[in-house]
Structure 1
Amino acid sequence: MSSLFPTYQRWELSAKSGKGATLKDTNGATYLDFVGGIAVCNLGHCHPKVIEALTTQAESLWHVSNLFQIEGQEQAAAMLAEQSSGDYVFFCNSGTEANEAAIKLARKHSGKNHIISLKNSFHGRTLGSMAATGQSKIHEGFGTMLQSFSYATFNDIESVKEQISADTAAIMIEVVQGEGGVRIIEPEFAQQLQALCKEYHILLIVDEVQTGIGRTGKPFGYQHFDLSPDIITVAKGLGNGFPVGAMIGKDFLQPAFQPGSHGSTFGGNPLAMAVVKAVLETVFEDQFLQQVQEKAEVFQTYLHQSLQGKKSVKDIRILGLMAGIECHEPVAEFITQARERGLLVLQAGPNVIRLLPPLVVTNEELKQAADILAQVVDQKTAAV
């Protein structure tokens, strides 16, 4: 009998080791891992540079608290600011914490309470980030949500306008709704949002927890849509599996976060910063990001060749190495069958297969994944 709270619907799979895009379980079976810790292991499992950085740091210093100067924070923050529209960085331990920091910063800077987010969004599971999440199933059973959030419709600017009031501090979005079905923002909607924020002096918060750190072929996903967010949140790929998150904000927001206004005991500790620095030095290289974009084009071709026109497949959506296969039916069985064939993939809602290969994946591995998905879909069609 387990002593764990049963908060996860776990697979009958226990991983033992991993390298790059592959995982090996305790029974010796090998899998092509297109889950990646849910968009976390952007550099794959056991990346040598990340291992070296963590090991070296672990042998010298683990933790001192944020009462001390931490050189690694300054270095990592400078790298994030250089590659983003922001100027200042707050380090924490997760995407949820990064979004909590964003919510607090927006409210404190503006003196206003109301934040607009989007239906089918996902921003976390703490009380603030859960309230920001536009999915009732996430709210159920936890009582009254933080009342200062309202939810507009994704890619519908009129629904956003209807939510704006004199008390609106910010609009909070994902450029790809990962948990919401791998739904990609429309460029026109993105620009309309930017204009709306400027017109009404509203902050634009972009949640890049799943799309950031090279996942889409750019440092941040919003950069595909010519946006200039005031606040950006990142986590997941930032630490490649080491727990770390960050909130990035523009210069004019700095006065709102002064000593005592926010904090984190473990946020930005030396271990995390050593890992982040190693990750960013690798991912933010122009050549590396160019390779991600090239792989994304190859992957899109493979997916269309393998799945387009299949009876079960409704739509194929992809940005960088983040793909969603929307089906006409629930996909839980497809995911189980893929796993039995050695491919690990996720759901994103009942009808969408989500694929999150590591950015170091090979073209051969991308082809293998597409072929396995085609076999799974064909088997279902044959059974019918």
Structure 2
Amino acid sequence: MPLFDVYPLYNVTPVSGKDIYVYDENSTEYLDLYGGHAVISIGHAHPNYVEAVTNQVKTLGFYSNAIQNPLQVELADKIEALSGCKDYELFLCNSGAEANENALKLASFKTGKSRVIAFKNGFHGRTSAAVAATDNPNIVAPINAQQKVTILELNDILGVKAELEKGDVCAVIVEFIQGVGGLDQGTSDFFEQVYALCKTNNTMFIADEVQSGYGRSGKFFAFQYYNVTPDIISIAKGMGNGFPIGGILIHPDIEAKYGMLGTTFGGNHLACAAGLAVLNTIEEENLIDNVNAMSEYFISIAKTIPEIKNIKGRGLMLGLEFDFEVGDLRKKLIYDYHIFTGGASNKKLLRILPPLTIKKEHINQFFEALKKAL
């Protein structure tokens, strides 16, 4: 049976990984500066992660949410302690799309309203409401387009104000650093005014931290650079270091009711073990400090390369913008220099999303190759 052909594939077959490297079937070593869409947070096959997942799968890998699962409580407490998001409540699911889907659903339940405001070049997932709030008509099917979504320009505060004052908006969903869209960011004034407008118009303010969370931005969450308190925070990618897990942090003003959200696999024992291993490693190895140090080092070198016209993003969620489309450059980096990088909807942007364990020698290796490739 052939695979449904929806992914353009590079001719590389990774079979193993260790920290910031992956290896193909011929034992060729590749420097991974993309982490499988920012999923690999603590490095491939980190010993803490391998031990935690192995021990858990030996005992109990799964049972449904009909029973007590102390690992969920432990994970929730650890997220609260490391993120500083006090008094939020946690709902666990399996992916970023599910996290945003549940966030939007919860916002609609809470407000009794149904329209969503999202922003140009935003990406929130591929499921029903999440994909409708994504600014890419090519992946929005007619069944998704039935959702009520208004997509505005980032930083268009007058547009946001006008739409919120119509009274039918349940949520504004924001990426504080856009991922797929190309590392664009709103201004501090914009984010803080949107948050204030949401408060005065009975609208939930949703922080999409699926890609920017878990220290990748240089803080635990990217919204923490601003004076805002989201009603709902969605998380996923780096949360499980490759094991499927997602979730939403829910402000205590939103009251839970039995049955309003649900999931079969979300928050299973194995997922929680993976999630705890990630958080423990981030804490023990001071990885957020490393993010900031390595970001500063990376940017300092990038500024010396004349072909790089713009450096975008924060922390280890970075983009290098050129005055040409980077598709061929990415292929050259993979096939000639054995380095994985990422693309974006901005075709002139090279996206850098390495494991948070990256060191200076890895950054040096990348820039030496980039200069040759250019």
TM above 0.5: yes
Q: Which residue of 1 aligns with 2:363?
A: 366
| Number of corresponding residues | 369
CA RMSD between the two structures: 1.5
Question: Matched residue of 1:161: which SS?
Answer: helix
Q: Give me the whole-angstrom Cα distance separating, in 1, the residues matched to 2:156 and 2:373.
A: 35
CA gap 1:239/1:144 in 2 versus in 1, 3 angstroms: closer
1:260 maps to a residue whose letter is G
2:365 maps to a residue whose letter is Q
Q: Does 1:107 align with 2:108?
A: yes
Residue 142 of structure 1: how far off its partner (Å): 4.0
Residue 315 of structure 1: how far off its partner (Å): 1.1
Deviations 1:72-120 (A, max 9, x none): 0011112223425361110001001101110110000111111101111
Q: Does 1:343 align with 2:339?
A: yes
The answer (yes or no) to whether the contact 1:43–1:240 under 8 Å persists in 2 is yes
Q: Give me the whole-angstrom Cα distance separating, in 1, the residues matched to 2:116 and 2:6.
A: 29
Q: Give me the whole-angstrom Cα distance separating, in 1, the residues matched to 2:96 and 2:187.
A: 24
Q: Does 1:319 align with 2:314?
A: yes
Q: Which residue of 1 aligns with 2:28?
A: 29
**How does 1:78-117 map onto structure 2 within 5 Å?**
78-82=77-81, 83-85=83-85, 87-117=88-118
Q: Give me the whole-angstrom Cα distance separating, in 2, the residues matched to 1:154 and 1:375.
A: 36
How does the TM-score come out when normalised to structure 1? Answer: 0.92
Q: Which residue of 1 aligns with 2:323?
A: 328
Q: Which residue of 1 aligns with 2:15?
A: 16
Q: Give me the whole-angstrom Cα distance separating, in 1, the residues matched to 2:271 and 2:137.
A: 33
Question: Matched residue of 1:277: which SS?
Answer: helix
The one of 335, 353, 356 equivalent to 1:356 is: 353
Deviations 1:130-185 (A, max 9, x none): 1111222222x545513321111112212222322211111100011110011123
Residue 52 of structure 1: how far off its partner (Å): 0.6
Q: Does 1:126 align with 2:127?
A: yes
Residue 299 of structure 1: how far off its partner (Å): 1.1
Q: Give me the whole-angstrom Cα distance separating, in 2, the residues matched to 1:223 and 1:284.
A: 18
2:129 maps to a residue whose letter is G
Q: Which residue of 1 aligns with 2:303?
A: 304
Residue 17 of structure 1: how far off its partner (Å): 0.9
Q: Which residue of 1 aligns with 2:167?
A: 166
Q: Which residue of 2 aligns with 1:380?
A: none
Q: Could you tell which deviates more after superposition, 323-332 or 280-289?
A: 280-289
Question: Matched residue of 2:150: which SS?
Answer: strand
Deviations 1:238-276 (A, max 9, x none): 0000000011110011x2x32111110010000000110
Q: Which residue of 1 aligns with 2:272?
A: 273
The answer (yes or no) to whether the contact 1:114–1:167 under 8 Å persists in 2 is yes
Q: Give me the whole-angstrom Cα distance separating, in 2, the residues matched to 1:127 and 1:198.
A: 26
Q: Does 1:206 align with 2:207?
A: yes
Q: Give me the whole-angstrom Cα distance separating, in 2, the residues matched to 1:205 and 1:331.
A: 32
Q: Give me the whole-angstrom Cα distance separating, in 2, the residues matched to 1:286 and 1:224.
A: 22
Q: Which residue of 1 aligns with 2:60?
A: 61
Q: Which residue of 2 aligns with 1:225?
A: 226
CA gap 1:367/1:66 in 2 versus in 1, 3 angstroms: same
Q: Which residue of 2 aligns with 1:287?
A: 286
Q: Does 1:147 align with 2:147?
A: yes
1:343 maps to a residue whose letter is I
The answer (yes or no) to whether the contact 1:331–1:352 under 8 Å persists in 2 is yes
Q: Which residue of 1 aligns with 2:73?
A: 74
Q: Could you tell which deviates more after superposition, 172-181 or 2-11?
A: 2-11
Q: Could you tell which deviates more after superposition, 20-29 or 262-271?
A: 20-29
Q: Give me the whole-angstrom Cα distance separating, in 1, the residues matched to 2:143 and 2:102.
A: 22
CA gap 1:285/1:197 in 2 versus in 1, 3 angstroms: farther
The answer (yes or no) to whether the contact 1:314–1:328 under 8 Å persists in 2 is yes
Q: Give me the whole-angstrom Cα distance separating, in 1, the residues matched to 2:18 and 2:155.
A: 38
Residue 376 of structure 1: how far off its partner (Å): 2.0
CA gap 1:284/1:102 in 2 versus in 1, 3 angstroms: farther
1:20 maps to a residue whose letter is D
Q: Give me the whole-angstrom Cα distance separating, in 2, the residues matched to 1:102 and 1:373.
A: 40
CA gap 1:143/1:202 in 2 versus in 1, 3 angstroms: closer
Question: Matched residue of 2:54: which SS?
Answer: helix
Q: Give me the whole-angstrom Cα distance separating, in 1, the residues matched to 2:359 and 2:25.
A: 25
Q: Give me the whole-angstrom Cα distance separating, in 2, the residues matched to 1:233 and 1:68.
A: 24
The answer (yes or no) to whether the contact 1:324–1:353 under 8 Å persists in 2 is yes
The answer (yes or no) to whether the contact 2:22–2:31 under 8 Å persists in 1 is yes
Percent sequence identity over aligned pairs: 37
Q: Could you tell which deviates more after superposition, 274-283 or 36-45?
A: 274-283
- Structure 2 spans left out of the alignment, 5+ residues: none
Q: Could you tell which deviates more after superposition, 168-177 or 76-85?
A: 76-85
